[in-house]
Amino acid sequence: MIKWGRGFVRRGIAAVLAGTMAAAAPAQACTNILLLAADGTPVYGRTLEYALETQSDVVVVPRNHEFIGTRPAKMAAPKWSSRYGFVGVMSFGQPFVSDGMNEKGLAGGALYFPGFAGYTPVDKADPSTALAPWEFLTWVLSNFATVAEVEAALDKAVIVDLPAPMVNFTLPFHFPIHDATGASIVIEPIDGKFKVYDNPLGVLTNSPTFDWHLTNVRNYVRISPVGAAALKIGSKSFEPFGQGSGLLGIPGDPTPPSRFIRALGYAASAKQVADGPQTVRLVEHIMNNFDIPIGFIDSAAKGGELEYTQWTSIADLRAKKYYIKGYRDQVLRTVDLMSFDLDAKGLQVAPFKLNLTPPPLEFNKS
């Protein structure tokens, strides 16, 4: 299924960029998956990689919160109010999120899409309705309850080619969107239009385009979690070493095509567990395999910074619980969105504080 549209979206605070465009250096290693529990609960997981500190905080945005977009001088800025409350990760103190989930269980992220994202020129779009790249996800989470609603609204939306203020270049993104029914799509802005794909795999990484990744899966059709049989040549038999021989050839490097195949392998083969809470832990184990430690990708050799996994988020789309952990503090923290007053007047922000000292185990005293 492919759809095209144009259109609308956005909210801003002048002069700074949103959580999603946070870093001034490229972020090429974001990974997204969706798993279903045996009871049908969808659980979404995602990593975020950047080469500069994103100054991330977790924010709960209530219903009826007014968003005001950022625009070049003397241009009208779009405005809208949130229909739904949502939780997500913002950066630099601005309520534009790079990842999040709303009260209806709609969730998604902004993943880097360099070399392929193409937006509408600012002067070709209605300034009262057009969105900057970092505002699109916030518009989605604040306005819609399901994947189908998002898709239906894209003909009223457009993303404009607007440099993010703190980095002075246009941030290229594509967007995995999931809902509480388990439906998933990928939205890719290309040549000023939206290309939308059904995503039954629930997996997304970065460039190239989603359809390219689907074609690339055909290079790995013999890979299996089941061990390979012994090879027999004449009277000689060659047994594989240990377990995992069916996975020989699965790519282990951090490039987006390789991560896509590896993420698909984990998502497709993971033993399904009973419910949302257990699937949250399963997704956490899977996402651990996509951590990039500082120094493994040495972009500094080309004059950049060292890219690494700054945080991992997980969302139970039925329970409306959002989880997050950071690079320097691997304890998974919980935000129960439905425990908040979503008709409150202001934002509620939790600074992403570090706890570098692991808590001690508690022993029973005999």
Mean pLDDT of the region 330-352 = 95
Q: How confident is the model at residue 165 (pLDDT cuts 50, 70, 90)?
A: confident
Residue 361's CB is within 10 A of a number of other CB atoms, namely 5
pLDDT for position 300: 66
Residue 44: in which H helix or E strand, if any? strand 42-50
* Cα-to-chain-centroid distance, residue 164: 19
pLDDT for position 19: 38
**Beta bridge mates, 204:** 32
Mean pLDDT of the region 293-321 = 87
Q: CB under 8 Å to 48, separation ≥6 — which residues?
A: 27, 30, 54, 89, 98, 99, 109, 309, 310, 311, 312, 313
Lowest average pLDDT, out of 174-178, 325-329, 354-358, goes to 354-358
How high does pLDDT run on average in the chain? 88
Mean pLDDT of the region 128-144 = 93
- Determine if the pTM surpasses 0.75: yes
| Higher-scoring residue by pLDDT: 190, 295 | 190
Whether residue 14 lies in the annotated active site: no
- How do residues 72-88 score in pLDDT, each as one tens digit? 767 777 889 999 999 99
pLDDT for position 303: 64
- Identify the active-site residue in 21, 30, 48, 324: 30
